[in-house]
Amino acid sequence: MSQQAVYAALGVRGYEHRSIRLGEGSVIVRLQVKDQDVCCPGCGSDDVVRRGCQIREFRAPPIAHRCVLLLIDVPRVACEACGTVRQVALTGMAEGHRCTRSFVRYVIELRKVMTIRDLALHLGVSEWLVRTIEKEYLQQHFAKPRLKETTKIAIDELSIGGGHRYLTIVLDLTSGAILHVGEGKGADALSPFWRRLKASRARIDAVAMDMSAAYIFAVTKHLPDATIVFDKFHVVKLMNDKLSDLRRELFREATDGLDKQVLKGTRWLLMKNPDHLDDERNEPDRLQEALALNQPLATAYYLKEDLRQLWSQKTKATARKFLNRWIRRAESSGIRILQRFAKTLQTHRRGLLAWYDFRISTGPLEGVNNKIRTLPRTAYGYRDQTYFRLKLHALHTTHYALIG
Ligand SMILES: [Zn+2]
């Protein structure tokens, strides 16, 4: 392989080769700036007088296990045209770091599959340098997520650090990019997002979210033309919670020891999708036994199961009829918890049926949550908020979210 080919592979071009030698665990390459390239770094004039030379050291990507050190003779020149005396500019070097741009690219690439610590060890540099290089890259590419083309978003809160801290996340449902990370939950956490969204002049058609009053208020205020779509998973989960509340209530009221015993073990069976009930563990029978013993529980259970059909109707019109029927059934059940829930659905019917106009949900945010949850707890960004946020904004570009 010619010298040029080696330099091309290292991403170092435009220098004159002087020598290569092996050091301890390293390859030391001596280079100098080509005579014809010596010019004033300020004005570009080649009418310059040399004023000495300084050897500077730069990192290039490693060759196998050896790190590559470039020692470059950098001339100082006095410019006849503009009168300054400076070192000439070097091509291919990363600004602010003593390494090549190819080294920076190498760090960014490997960072996708290696932790900071492993990468620093592999390269023989400090963790600080790896982190700084990555942070600069993220800052450059992800600090300001583009909002202009966004049309559909999902909003949800996410608990991290064992439920001690909440983040409000806004996701672009088309690109999958996190557009906003707000501290805390509720409307306040969204305020900075609305400002940026307004400035971007994006036209948002639809927003997927849960039925929380705070979000409804905020979205209605800031995006009056957008269609609110209540997320089906949240609605089903809420119904599950109601069923669970009812079971608990019935358990408290049960006077018969047998009733109590049957009710006791049914919580998870009630929540489970009936298709997933385990035959070998007698789950279908146990569930039937509990339902047979308890009429209110059975009513609530079948209403819960039916509710999921709201999202698999043929048309919006049939879905509307279905919802009306469901609400009537719940209202006439005589069960207070169900009646209250029916009222909630009645109040939110528009956003429930809007799913037939925009089939969106906060489901994709669940994937984001899972990625974040796989992070070590120390990585939740208590130490470096900016870095954590940038990582979140870049999350859709990576398979894993390596922060540590
Ligand atoms: Zn000059």
Domain ranges, ordered by start, for the chain: 1-93, 152-231+361-397, 232-356
The partner residues of 158 in beta bridges, in order of sequence, read: 167
Closest alpha carbon to 63 in 133, 4, 9? 9
pLDDT along the chain (404 residues), means of 10: 80 90 93 92 92 94 92 95 93 92 95 89 92 92 90 91 83 93 89 94 96 94 96 94 90 77 77 83 83 84 93 97 96 94 97 97 87 63 73 79 53
38 CA to middle of ligand 1, Å? 11
Q: How far is ligand 1, taken at its centre, from the CA of residue 37, in Å? A: 14
**Cα of 32 from ligand 1 centre, angstroms:** 21
Please name every residue paired with 160 in a beta bridge, in sequence order, or none if there are none: 165
Specify whether the backbone of 300 is left (phi greater than 0), alpha (psi in -120 to 50) or beta.
alpha
Distance CA 150, CA 98 (A): 39
Contact 220, 187 (CB under 8 A): no
Three-class secondary structure of residue 59 per DSSP: strand
CA–centroid distance, residue 47 to ligand 1 (Å): 8
What distance in angstroms lies between residue 60's CA and the mean position of ligand 1's atoms?
Answer: 29
pLDDT of res. 401: 52
Architecture of domain 152-231+361-397 in this structure: 2-Layer Sandwich (3.30)
- With beta carbons less than 8 A apart as the criterion, state whether 13 and 103 touch: no
Length of the chain measured in residues: 404
> pLDDT value at position 144?
86
- What is the edge-to-edge ordering of all strands in the sheet holding 206-209? 178-183, 165-172, 152-160, 206-209, 227-230
pLDDT at 13: 87
Residue with tokens 């070590």: 376
- 315: which 2 tokens? 């048309």
Distance 127 CA to ligand 1 centre (A): 38
Going from the C-alpha of 342 to that of each of 218, 310, 336, 352, the distances in angstroms are 24, 14, 10, 13
DSSP string, 307-322: HGGGGG-SSHHHHHHH
CA angle at 158 for the pair 152 and 161, rounded to the nearest 5°: 155
Ligand 1 centroid to 15 CA: how many Å?
A: 21
Q: Are strands 26-33 and 15-23 parallel, antiparallel or unpaired?
A: antiparallel
Q: CB-based burial of residue 33 (10 Å sphere; 0-12 exposed, 13-18 middle, 19+ buried)?
A: buried
Write down the pLDDT at residue 281. Answer: 82
- Residue 9: its pLDDT value, please? 85
pLDDT at residue 383, as a whole number: 65
Cα 25 to middle of ligand 1, angstroms: 40
pLDDT of residue 274: 81
Beta strands 152-160 and 85-87 are: unpaired
48 CA distance to ligand 1 middle (Å):
8
**Rounded distance from Cα 101 to ligand 1 centre (Å):** 25
